[in-house]
Amino acid sequence: MAQKMTFDGKEYDLDALSEAARSQVINLRATDQEIARTEALLAILQTARRAYAHVLKGELEKTDSTSH
């Protein structure tokens, strides 16, 4: 069974594409994978930032309670 791909709502047989078109398919797939990896990393960093902010808030509350 031939591999297919859909682009702009139209299905294409990968074997029927030119070498240049197949190269661009590879580029798009690699870029999509990198975007997904970057989005996952961003989610991790945002979670870490929230955790650091939460700890900082607790530390600042301790400072506020001892300075009054």
pLDDT of residue 1: 77
Separation CA 44–CA 51 (nearest Å): 11
* pLDDT at residue 66, rounded to an integer: 83
Its pTM stands at 0.75
Q: How far is CA 31 from CA 8, 9, 27, 37, 43, in A?
A: 17, 19, 6, 10, 18
Distance in angstroms (rounded) separating the CA atoms of residues 11 and 24: 16
The whole-number pLDDT of residue 22 equals 96
Query: What integer pLDDT is reported at residue 68 of this predicted model?
Result: 66
Taking only the tens place, the pLDDT of each residue in 13-47 is 999 999 999 999 999 999 999 999 999 999 999 99
